Chains A and B, each alone.
Chain A
């Protein structure tokens, strides 16, 4: 069973995604920073649904909110929504060719932006600049290589 192998990849990849979201970047590149956490979570929701579900998404979101210093619960909400939609269409998405899968992920990330904007709007928080709407495109482009890397790590045979 591939699932039994390399069990460390799941927590480590999520932690790395969290760190990638925190790593300091130049101000110019800041809006282009992809939502790594959502990308990695999406991979695990698609590939290991019995391990990663709404609960994991919620807790991960809370942790990310703490780490990012944002509104507590915001990312939890966003990741729960993302996970739920992915879970619903998992059967179809898994058998999409990579290009269509990337498009779907891009759409999800865009939806995630809309959810974030709605939350900010309702609670009267500051809206992010418009440049941040480019991040889903970057996430979309990164989906295929990320998928490949995680697949390789997860499924590689021990020497």
Chain B
């Protein structure tokens, strides 16, 4: 077969060589095409690759050894640096952990509050604060729950600490809350220690309430915890309102007045609880009150019922007094 011999001076051995070359080339091409088309060869290949695994393992060996050696040869300074970094990380984690613990404690408190509410068979509804309107004449919140969610005017609003205020206006989707710190707001309260009745007015500052018109003879002290009394029918009894500050004589020198630190965290948090299932008393004409010591007994009903009006509540109470 001179045509396959290639070079003119071909020897018989060359012809056989070329033939063998052709055989192997065709074989290689067939295997290639079969593999390319991905036919039965795929499974055969998968089997064969198992046999090649040790080769791969061997090929990876140098880099694995290299990594192991470099790890073993890590300098002391490197270790020290790493140690420092880890210590820092530990501190940060510790701080974070402490914060988490604080959150857990707060959670327990919240749950206790919720539990207390539930024990009193009072239904609550969680609502988020949409907007906050705080200035000396207006202390209000807008919540993201409204008539559609069953919110009604007059519902009491509480938070983890205690009483926050009451709903004074509702739209289908939002509700406006008059905070206890609003100058127009007044809450009838009693001291937890002695049960002495105290009126707590808003002062226009989000961190301060005022207790006024306390009789000189009343059993009140600095540090007394004030709870809602339930008088007046607007708020259920027993929710913390605040803690009495230093007592001092008022302008008339006939009564005592004091600052009250609100129990509710009025300036923080994003969620509040709306009390449900407690029917607020409808505003009724205030019975005539005897001026003086008895003023506290009739003032709460008048002031809380009229709390949503623009006139200061105490003024309403006094107007109602003949």
Contacts and interface: CB of A to CB of B under 8 A. Distances in A.
A77 B21 contact: no
Given A23-B62, A66-B49, A87-B17, A76 B31 contact: yes
A77 B59 contact: no
A23 B62 CA distance: 8
Contacts of B17: 54, 84, 87-88
Taking chain B's interface residues, is the majority helix, strand, or loop, or is none over half, making it mixed? helix
A81 interface: yes
A102 interface: no
A80 B21 contact: yes
B28 A61 contact: yes
Interface in B18-40: 20-21, 24-25, 27-36
Contacts, number: 78
A47 to B, nearest CB: 18
B201 to A, nearest CB: 75
Interface size range of chain B in the complex: 20 to 34
Nearest to B51: A66
Given A66-B52, A81-B25, A71 B20 contact: no
A72 B35 contact: yes
A72 B36 CA distance: 8
A80 B29 contact: no
A18 interface: yes
Contacts of B311: none
A31 interface: no
Contacts of A23: 59, 62-63
A134 interface: no
Contacts of B21: 54, 80-81, 84
A159 interface: no
A71 B35 contact: yes
Contacts of B24: 54-55, 57-58, 76, 80
Interface in B148-206: none
Interface residues of A, number: 31
B32 A74 contact: yes
Contact of A71 (B14, B32, B52): B32
A73 B28 contact: yes
Nearest to B63: A24
Taking chain A's interface residues, is the majority helix, strand, or loop, or is none over half, making it mixed? helix
Interface in A1-22: 15, 18-19, 22
Nearest to A87: B17
Contacts of A57: 24
B48 interface: yes
B55 A54 contact: no
Contacts of A53: 20
Ranked 9 nearest A-B pairs via Cβ: A22-B59, A73-B31, A73-B32, A77-B28, A72-B35, A76-B28, A80-B24, A73-B28, A84-B21
Given A74-B28, A84-B17, A84-B21, 19 more contacts: A19-B58, A19-B59, A22-B55, A23-B63, A24-B60, A58-B24, A58-B28, A66-B45, A66-B48, A66-B51, A66-B52, A67-B52, A69-B49, A73-B29, A76-B31, A80-B28, A87-B17, A119-B32, A123-B33
16 contacts: A54-B20, A57-B24, A58-B24, A58-B28, A63-B52, A67-B56, A72-B45, A73-B27, A73-B28, A73-B32, A76-B27, A77-B29, A88-B17, A119-B32, A123-B33, A123-B36
